Structure 1
């Protein structure tokens, strides 16, 4: 099998692919919310994972030469745990969409990179300087602005996307940890397969009939999932992660538009202000991470 050389210097194409990926995932969020409200979260995520697992198996076999080679790992328990955690996080996040709405959920989910930075010390032994700690503090002030404690009756549903952000942060840190010994292709393979196993074990007990139109939407949801992940893989092949990662925050914009236009959600001014603070703090931590890597020998 002839290796296909990868290009990692086309910043414009990388940014375009990241923006397109965010738009696809935002569309997927809208489909997920609709189906979760019509059926249930467990069943919807289970079927999504069946297609996702098939996708990672095909990609893994194409890149590694065989499924066995794609699955080869020196840390199988950690890889399985990562996959289980991501599947659980997706369930929590989609449930949050049905409880709080897509727009406000994503404003809170934007805190994910800040949680990653805060936990990178205890999890990975990485040093976090005072500038990034200050950005983390500012970011969580933004979360408080969104939640408005003391101004209105506290909405416990807001804890659902916050829990999702924390779960995804832990998943991201475990991905960085396992990357010390396993390839990205191996981690991608286990993410899909382990998650599909968990969701099948849970989702089959929540199976319920759906209308033909909803099955058509489910098919589109599965296709958008595969398309989004394919675009994301290509994005990181053509451009450096440090260049394109800040543009991942575009999903907050696109998802908010889906929530407003498709579901009639209304953004409270504090959600806009708080979300802006969180994104600004997250962008600052990404910039400091890039500076730190440039200075590293």
Structure 2
């Protein structure tokens, strides 16, 4: 991987976070006026169409995608993601983009901590310590005794747990299923689940809001396209730390558009969570480099 490709991957990841932050802002706007299940359902219709088109262009096409090695786990992945989106959008509406995203940024720590029981990976004391520090940051954001007992305060934390499990299952099925197969099942299963629930909550939508809905669908598809390109041109370990830019962009949108307040406890807690997450990513890179050196030595 060349340095130029790494720079391009970083730029693509930053662009991805910006597009996803726009998507979150539009989701908050629409879910503030319409039922969240309907909003997510329509979004998934477009996403599923995008996934099908992308998959059809891959080697083996849709026929190959319909024959995964882990169909039940792929279905569970798709279900987890749509539930996570429902819960997270509700968090946007009731907490605001700033606080909801500040809590959600703990999901890499949950991935690290749960990689042991879910994937059977070795989790050292440093990763457990980082997860503990990150959870302390979450508590600072939620202010125990003030808002932590509100169900809406727990919404982004629940969403983070759901997304962490989704990410771990994605890594598990990647042992036998390609990324395009997983992408196909994410979109199609999610669309089926979202439709099965969303149709019961259909509401008439105004003309201008249909325009916002169309923009939401476009940003969802475009964001995933940018994310795919970022991972194609650069190593995940190089670009993943820049995913935290979504917190910055979402906070800017929340403050300027929706009037969210940037409270001191949220800033301090988010800094702790992000710092713990970056430490975890750094430790993962160190471990990967050691394993590569050991493999190179053993091959000689």
Smaller-chain TM-score bracket:
over 0.9
CA contact (8 A) 2:130 2:276 kept: yes
Matched, 1:130 2:125: yes
Match of 1:235? 230
Matched, 1:217 2:212: yes
Counterpart-to-counterpart distance in 1, 2:13 and 2:104: 18
Unpaired runs of at least 5, structure 2 = 296-300
Aligned-pair CA distance for 1:129 = 1.2
Q: Deviations over 1:213-251 (max 9, x none)?
A: 000000010001111000001111111100000000000
Counterpart among 177, 185, 193 of residue 182 in structure 1? 177
Aligned-pair CA distance for 1:68 = 1.1
CA contact (8 A) 1:64 1:70 kept: no
SS of the residue corresponding to residue 198 of structure 1 reads helix
CA contact (8 A) 1:9 1:238 kept: no
Aligned-pair CA distance for 1:67 = 1.3
Match of 1:92? 87
Q: How many residues align?
A: 292
CA contact (8 A) 2:105 2:274 kept: yes
Structure 1 runs (4+) deviating above 3 angstroms are 6-9, 150-156
Match of 1:3? none
Q: TM-score, normalised by structure 2?
A: 0.94
Counterpart-to-counterpart distance in 2, 1:237 and 1:204: 36
Matched, 1:121 2:123: no
Q: Deviations over 1:157-208 (max 9, x none)?
A: 2101100000000101111111111111100010000000001111111111
Aligned-pair CA distance for 1:274 = 0.2
Counterpart among 94, 97, 101 of residue 102 in structure 1? 97
SS of the residue corresponding to residue 63 of structure 1 reads coil
Q: TM-score, normalised by structure 1?
A: 0.95
Aligned-pair CA distance for 1:9 = 6.4
SS of the residue corresponding to residue 175 of structure 2 reads coil
Counterpart among 21, 32, 37 of residue 42 in structure 1? 37
CA contact (8 A) 2:147 2:153 kept: no
Counterpart-to-counterpart distance in 2, 1:126 and 1:272: 32
Match of 2:139? 144
Aligned-pair CA distance for 1:71 = 2.5
Unpaired runs of at least 5, structure 1 = 1-5
Counterpart-to-counterpart distance in 2, 1:132 and 1:70: 35
Matched, 1:282 2:274: no
Counterpart among 267, 271, 282 of residue 272 in structure 1? 267
